[in-house]
Chain A
């Protein structure tokens, strides 16, 4: 009787030990994955900052004015050449 019980208990112990090993393994895998995604998130943050910076650099008023004046031959408008319309007036 005791012999049988011992066998059962041993089997349970081994099973539990194996499941622990498995759980541990899974946990580590998931953890590494989490870490990778976190790193990706950080990288995307950096890319976002870089793009914002590029936008600001390219959208600089100085640059726009240069391009408008030189490349596109534009001149600033003056009120003398502007037709003003008032909304709601007939």
Chain B
């Protein structure tokens, strides 16, 4: 660097440099719609209450051509959130946010972009430019002050009840759900020391890890008549798909999960005992949704969580 500003800490880390384009606050994103809500229990399965952790998917947009860095300021800090995806269309930058919980608690989404696309007001402060004259830092535009950043990863299996199984040996037509598919308490915790109040903080963390897990109960019964036996089979299946989601805890950052989709199906069938037995019949079934893929967790890699103080930009 021949000229400009270079600020380092005592560890030699570059904190501010006029050779690096800083991100600045472009305000908050416009709320568009709640795409999905509910999912506190299994669709098509009766009798269960709060067997899933709930899901909301909120869509936001910001008008501009550059790719922003979006930050989530939760309305409820006990819930998990994550950036599902972001894309551009018709001049807008869109982002979908997953939020756990059965009821919508709409977070505020802050937008950060390079200062070259923003217009400052006022005539005091610090401004630096790149060698080509492009603005790199402008204190009038609310430059992003990243308070904490770390690589984080959720646990492999999202379910609070651990990994569900496929098991036989149950009674015919056993449809009682016996696995905890909720995911409120399954997360990895990363210590985070901060001088700011928890309710002041916002974070940017993509939700890329996905998981599908299934509980299957196979039922069986054999009936005996005067001349033969008759076998009965049943299969009850509950499945849930999860996306990684995160929250700011007390003195810690939590990498966990939020449920994204779920389904249930049940089949029941029995043998035809033949003409010499009085009973007979055929099977029946019920189905609610199809499982996206066989049980596994994908995209389970450490990803970057960024935390900043939202009060600085409110």
B is bound to A = no
Chain A residues engaging chain B, CB cutoff 8 angstroms: none
Using a CB–CB cutoff of 8 Å, the interface residues on chain B facing chain A are: none
